[in-house]
Amino acid sequence: MLDALLAKLEARLGATPANLRPLSGGCVGEVYGLEAGGERYALKVDRQQGGALAVEGRMLDYLERRTALPAPRAVAYDDGYLLMTWVEGGGGGGGELHAADLLADLHDLSADAYGFEFDTVIAALHQPNPWTPRWLDFFAEQRVVEMAKQAYDAGNLPGELLRRAERLAGRLSDWLEEPAKPGLVHGDVWSGNVMGRGGRITGFIDPALYFADPEVELAFITLFSTFGDAFFSRYAERRGLSPQFWDAKRPLYNLYPLLVHARLFGGGYVSQAGSILRRFAG
């Protein structure tokens, strides 16, 4: 399969791919670096052709067309592969002030409802995005209940926690208010997805796009300590933070990525999600 794919890429690029080498990372299939025609590229390969890479390619196209967020450019893709331009720099965050400015600009992009133009993915998991007028309805059904069901169906979430998630979905308004308007979020800002060099961000990779309450992105950033105080101070200068962010929004919004990780890995992520569900769902 790889030989046939390289032949396809040679026809697409007009140059012979060379110096193919495996890279670490990648929730979907294999990741490689390569060179062709004097340019460097990153290549993802999904031998199962599950379709997640085509969705990622469409998200990168959207970022290139509609935003100023630095990200790889999708050169070519289908259900089995994604070829992207190379992003210089290393992972692990850094460039906190630059990141705050970039994400504040991204979050300023709005839509008439919550959701997205098409369903996206987080890791390789289906992320449904039907246009929904109210954020609390969208977050309840398309994030909390949806991912709790995925984790339950995978055998990683006990039925008791699924029932608490369903109960919480009807009670979010006890703690949260509707945001002023939707904002576009990257959706998966952890340190491994942030490339930087010299105190500047060179690219955000592996997007999981949708229009949301932008503070769902900020909560995720706290979950894995992607950025620290400098980031939040700068972001607050640009867009402000709601009074309920640290006490209520942060744990409630982090329920979704914890359920994602419970679906993927089980283990301690189930316990962390359970603690939030017991606190807020009773």
Just list the catalytic residues. Answer: 188
- Interatomic CA distance for residues 237 and 234, integer angstroms: 5
Contact 151, 259 (CB under 8 A): yes
- Could you write out the DSSP letters of every residue in 200-216? EEEEE-S---EEE-THH
Contact 153, 184 (CB under 8 A): no
CA–CA–CA angle 115, 116, 120 (5° rounding): 105
- Interatomic CA distance for residues 197 and 211, integer angstroms: 28
State how far the alpha carbon of 84 is from the alpha carbons of 10, 31, 111, 184, 206, in Å. Answer: 14, 11, 27, 22, 11
